[in-house]
Amino acid sequence: MPNLNKVQLMGNITRDPEVRYTPKGTAVTDIGLAINRNYTLDDGEKREETTFVDITFWGRQAEVIGEYMKKGRPLYVEGRLQLDQWEDKTSGQQRSRLKVIGDNFQFLGGRDDGGGGGGQRGGGQPQQQQAAPPQQNHQQAAPQQAAPQQEAPQQQQAAPPQQQAAPPQQNYDPIPPTEGDDDIPF
């Protein structure tokens, strides 16, 4: 039976990311994502509920998130679910929690979207503006897995299009159309 473990989330970061490094030098960061759901009850009352999800990123992705993201900024995340289990040291009970391991992400919104944490409006210190992060998908290489017994045909991915310089602008005076003239000069 085939298996699938894929998560897609979009929400706002709940705290400033802190990048840590493993003893081998691999970057890791844990972020929280707040995902809002708006709905209306049968009697017309509007409600909103928020779900908080813990997400872990590794490697270069962790460094990029730590560099560009702040509390309140919107983020799109793709990843997989992972169940962590441990024994509570104080009570001796088995504990578990479900979290997401981020495979790739995309920054959302512009450079001024999201909050800076304090939520100050008007008086107070102006927020520092930083350059907007590049708009691109950040994908983590999938770990090598054993080949299945039957190989599926490999899909070929098209190479990303090369950016081309814009053609030079031509200066010309278009001839204004006359009444009833259907020909538009190109």
What DSSP letter does each residue of the chain carry, written as one string? Answer: ------EEEEEEESS---EEE-TT--EEEEEEEEEEEEEE-TTS-EEEEEEEEEEEEETHHHHHHHHH--TT-EEEEEEEEEEEEEE-TTT--EEEEEEEEEEEEEE-S-TT-S--SS---SSSPPPPP-PPPP---EEPPPPP-PPPSSPPPPPPPPPPPPP-PPPPPPP--PPPPPTT------
pLDDT of residue 112: 59
Between residues 137 and 72, the one the model is more confident about: 72
Between residues 125 and 74, the one the model is more confident about: 74
pLDDT of residue 186: 43
Between residues 160 and 51, the one the model is more confident about: 51
For residues 66 and 56, what is the distance between their CA atoms, to the nearest angstrom?
A: 12
Give the model confidence (pLDDT) of 164-180 as tens digits. Answer: 544 444 444 444 445 55
pLDDT of residue 111: 61
For residues 138 and 63, what is the distance between their CA atoms, to the nearest angstrom?
A: 11
Give the model confidence (pLDDT) of 7-54 as tens digits. Answer: 999 999 999 999 999 999 999 999 999 999 999 999 999 999 999 999
Cβ proximity of 113 and 73 under 8 Å: yes
pLDDT of residue 124: 31
Cβ proximity of 12 and 76 under 8 Å: no
**pLDDT > 70? residue 55:** yes
pTM for the predicted model, two decimal places: 0.59
Q: What is the set of domains in the chain, with CATH numbers?
A: 7-114 (2.40.50.140)
pLDDT of residue 109: 82
Between residues 154 and 91, the one the model is more confident about: 91
Sorted by sequence, the CB contacts under 8 Å of residue 18 that are 6+ apart come out as 29, 30, 66
Maximum Cα interatomic distance, the chain, rounded to a whole number of Å: 89
Sorted by sequence, the CB contacts under 8 Å of residue 59 that are 6+ apart come out as 26, 27, 140
pLDDT of residue 150: 44
Give the model confidence (pLDDT) of 78-130 as tens digits. Answer: 999 999 999 999 998 999 999 999 999 999 986 655 544 333 223 333 333 34
Between residues 107 and 136, the one the model is more confident about: 107
CB atoms within 10 A of CB 140: 18
For residues 77 and 14, what is the distance between their CA atoms, to the nearest angstrom?
A: 14
- Locate tokens 């290489």: which residue? 141
